[in-house]
Amino acid sequence: MHQNRDLYDYLYKRTRQLTNDWYDSIDKTTVTGVYASNDPDVITRLKEQNFSFHVHLIQIFKESEESFFDSFEEWVNEIASDSGHQSTPVHTILNEFLNVQVQYIHMIEEFAKIQNRNITNEAAYSWIHVILKVFGKVMIRFVEVHEKIATQRLISQQEIINELSAPVIKLKPGIGLLPLVGVIDTNRAKYILENTLMECSKQSISHLYIDISGVNVLDTMVAMQIFHLIDTLKITGVKTSLSGVRPEIALTAVHLGLDFKDIHITGNLSQALNFK
């Protein structure tokens, strides 16, 4: 226990050195993300994050494992959610973890050498084993939190994209426009249906113009979803007009056996809006 305290003191005095040596060793020509930044503020923040890592990590030689990992959780969450690290490939971040791990192994070897006969090989090996165990657990936990946050951000971004790509635009009281653009997959089709019904109700839309001239491909699923939307709107009392039906789209719909007889259709949006 006394030797653990001596090692802690030895490492604590060298935390800044560890940070500076680590940052100086980064090959800026090969790394990407936050580690390649030349922004002085980003570099300062990166160094402080690394320094904080050392301050937390060396506590393993003073605290129980349970309390150590509990206190380390805050650091992991902070770094994993940091915008700089979120924009950096995970394999690059893990490589830097391993570089720092090597620093600690060298430091322990150096400490044992200075202490000479006061430190047994068994003690040095046990410290290295602790370091390897700690780094392994911290790295795994970092990847878990990093991926969870990245997934949450991706979902949020997708929701925004869906919102922007399926807007119900109120043209005047009771009249709305739904311009559909791009590729419509299953998830987006579901969102379009739910969002359109909600927005028509919220904006008191009684007649909705649906323009599909910007839809890249009308396959079976997309065609069925559009007709399902029209049928559902009809049930809720919303009339619809469909524009932008290109010849190939009309041909696909006919082959699918879709019935156009109760749907007002125009070649383009301009014709639809001028319809009396």
Question: Are 234 and 100 members of one domain?
Answer: no
Question: 131, 162, 193: which is the final residue of a domain?
Answer: 162
Q: Note whether 152 and 170 are same-domain residues.
A: no
Position 276 scores a pLDDT of 44
Give the C-alpha distances (Å, rounded to integers) separating 204 from 52, 174, 178, 197, 207. 55, 6, 14, 10, 9
Q: 114 and 235, same structural domain?
A: no
**Which CATH number characterizes residue 225's domain?**
3.30.750.24
Residues 205 and 246 reside in one and the same domain: yes
Residues 27 and 49 in one domain: yes
My answer on whether 152 and 184 are in the same domain is no
Claim to verify: residue 22 and residue 142 sit in the same structural domain = yes
Q: What is the pLDDT of residue 39?
A: 92
Alpha carbon of 89 to those of 85, 129, 140: distances in Å? 8, 28, 15
Q: How far apart are CA 220 and CA 213, in angstroms?
A: 17
pLDDT of residue 163: 64
Number of domains in the chain: 2
What is the pLDDT, as a whole number, of residue 225? 80
Q: Could you tell me the residue range of the domain that residue 259 belongs to?
A: 166-273
64 and 120, same domain (yes or no): yes
Spatial distance between the Cα atoms of 93 and 100, rounded to a whole number of angstroms? 11
Say if residue 206 is in the same domain as residue 151.
no
Cα-trace Rg, the chain: 31
Tell me the CATH number at 48: 1.10.490.10
Domain termination residue (choose one: 135, 162, 189): 162
Written as tens digits, the pLDDT of the chain (276 aa) is 557 888 999 999 999 999 999 999 998 888 889 999 999 999 999 999 999 999 999 999 988 888 888 888 889 999 998 989 988 999 999 999 999 999 999 999 999 888 877 788 888 899 999 999 999 999 999 999 999 988 888 887 777 766 666 788 888 899 999 988 877 777 778 888 888 998 899 999 999 998 888 877 767 777 778 888 888 998 999 998 888 877 776 776 677 776 666 677 776 677 666 654
Give the phi and the psi of residue 170 in degrees, each rounded to 5: -80, 115
H/E element, 266: strand 264-266
Strand partners, 208: 176, 240
* 116: region left, alpha or beta (phi > 0 left; psi from -120 to 50 alpha): left
| DSSP structure class, residue 52 | H
* Whole-angstrom distance, CA of residue 97 vs CA of residue 131: 12
- Residue 92: its pLDDT value, please? 93
pLDDT of residue 260: 64
Question: 115 and 228 in one domain?
Answer: no
Q: How many CA atoms lie within 13 A of 254 on its CB side?
A: 7
Q: Report the alpha-carbon distance of residue 146 to residue 43 in Å, rounded.
A: 21
- Same-domain status, 148 and 91: yes
Residues 20 and 102 in one domain: yes
Which of 146, 162, 178 terminates a domain? The answer is: 162
Partners of 179 in beta bridges: 211
